[in-house]
Amino acid sequence: MRAAPTILHLDMDAFYASVEQASKPSLRGKAVIVGGLGPRGVVATASYEARRFGVHSAMPTAQARRLCPNGAYLIPRFRLYQAVSEVVMGLLRELSPLVEPLSLDEAFVDLEAGGTAFDAKSARETGERLRADIRAVTGLSGSVGLAGSKMLAKVASEEAKPAGLLLIEPGTERELLAPMSVRTLPGVGPVTGEHLRRAGITTVGELAEAGEDELVRMVGRSHGVGLYRMALGLDDRPVVAERDAKSVSVEDTFDVDLHDRVRIRTEVQRLADRCVQRLRGSGHSGRTIVLKVRRYDFSTLTRSETLRGPTDDPAVVREAAARLLEAVDTTGGVRLLGVGVTGLADYTQEDLFAQSMAAEEAAAEEAAAAAESAAAETAAGAGGEGAAVPGEVEPDGAARAGAPSGSAGDGGPAGGVEAPGPGGEPEAVPERRWAAGSDVLHAAYGPGWVQGSGVGRVTVRFEQPGSPPGRVRTFRVDDPELEPSDPLPLVGPGQAEPKDTA
């Protein structure tokens, strides 16, 4: 415990929803819910306007729609959230070398280690300046807590929400904590909270009065001792700049249970590739491959396989995940699949067996390509110079006949290309899909975002960060002038306010 409130905790306010409101002027002041939009979707974040209706994180989206039917329901745009988070974390690192990120929108900062604060006055000034800088460069608000420990700083930021700052003076901790609910303390979830309630303990003050021995008897030694120390406001954990990742994983929940074994295998392969992308992006490799399967009855199975050494080879991870899937019974249906890698390392041990397999596969692909090329030449000779071969890839990179031109799994609109079918007639082209909240660009109207789509139409609102609320227009889903685009920055070069460097 410190004698000065020089540990800062920043928590961005309703982060995902606030980013959406900042980038979509027509949604400012409106109820915004970000999360999965399918029948089994879950709310990731709800704006404060939506929370007034009872909507909260981790709530099923279907329930949220019943509580707040007129809210704006949007898909998450994680690339944009990550970009904004990097800007905010950069501001924190200007204050101190000891910054401990907890998530994209939350972090601890040791102000004393950075020489930016040594007492209550300088800590408050630093916190207010940080909030102003975040507003200037992102257009968003964050809540700041300042205290002599990490636990109290986090409690303070929660009490300061939204868009506030609270400083807890050392020596006032017990007085401040006493009337608060026991759920305020880290590690006290619904189960522990209910257990304490049945024992007549609902506030932190009552927790402190119960005494260490009684709490140990109720919830066990390790948890009981920790609860008692937190009730007294005691926490000596340091701010740790680097938090080692323990695992990397991805998972998908499906709107309809999967029964087709081939489809399930395909999804596992796709998840394995996405997992390796994240693994490489973090600069790691891993030894243990983990498969997660949630079945139709909500039972969840995990299977794992440990390799001879760490790898970031997608072929190796795909093969291991496929082997693990063979040991799982999926006949009743699958609602969720996940692939993860644990036992992380910052180096890769080459797998000779995998390399030899990859070499054999490459040789087989070359042979198949040569055979295909020969067949194409033969067909071209038979049909005359310049004759098209159905299903062949054109020099301009056009997709093969019947193959999708986009992937809904990549966050973009899915579609298809028109190509002759077996009888020479054009096959039906799959309808392009536009997810609510995704970014688009129109050749004539410029940047906008999808408000909704259906019945062959997509509705787009044309506006961008910093602009007035835009107009709405409706197009055919296959309109050639409409295409997906990258998110625009929340604050343009001319919009950012100058930073106070005093």
Order of strands, sheet of 43-46, starting from the edge strand that comes earlier in the sequence: 43-46, 32-35, 72-74
Report residue 34: phi and psi, to 5°.
Answer: -110, 130
In angstroms, how far is CA 247 from the centroid of its own chain? 15
Which of 111, 344, 322, 161 lies closest to 244, judged by CA? 344
Q: With the C-alpha atoms ordered 108, 112, 114, 120, is the resulting torsion angle positive or negative?
A: positive
Check 100, 106, 267, 319 and give the catalytic one: 106
Which of 179, 181, 178, 171 lies closest to 148, judged by CA? 171
Which of 416, 422, 437 lies closest to 485, judged by CA? 437
Active site residue 106: yes
- State the Cα–Cα distance between residues 227 and 204, nearest whole angstrom: 9
Per DSSP, the residues of 449-471 read EEEEEETTEEEEEE--TTSPP-E
Whether 251 and 336 have beta carbons less than 8 Å apart is answered as yes
Residue 242, classified by CB atoms within 10 Å of its CB into exposed (0-12), middle (13-18) or buried (19+), is: exposed
Residues 6+ apart with CB under 8 A from 492: 465, 466
Whether 439 and 447 have beta carbons less than 8 Å apart is answered as yes
In angstroms, how far is CA 418 from the centroid of its own chain? 35
Long-range contacts of 323-331 (CB under 8 A, 24+ apart): 324/289, 324/290, 324/291, 325/264, 325/265, 325/268, 325/291, 325/293, 327/303, 328/291, 328/293, 328/301, 328/303, 330/258, 330/259, 330/261, 330/264, 330/293, 330/295, 331/259
Whether 462 and 470 have beta carbons less than 8 Å apart is answered as yes
Residues 6+ apart with CB under 8 A from 79: 486, 487
Strand partners, 304: 290
Q: Where are the beta strands (DSSP E) in 200-246?
A: none
Task: Please state at what angle helix 212-219 crosses helix 221-231, rounded to 10 degrees.
Answer: 140
Secondary structure element (H or E) that encloses residue 138, with its range: helix 120-138
Order of strands, sheet of 99-103, starting from the edge strand that comes earlier in the sequence: 99-103, 106-110, 7-12, 142-147, 165-167
Query: Annotated active-site positions, please?
Result: 106
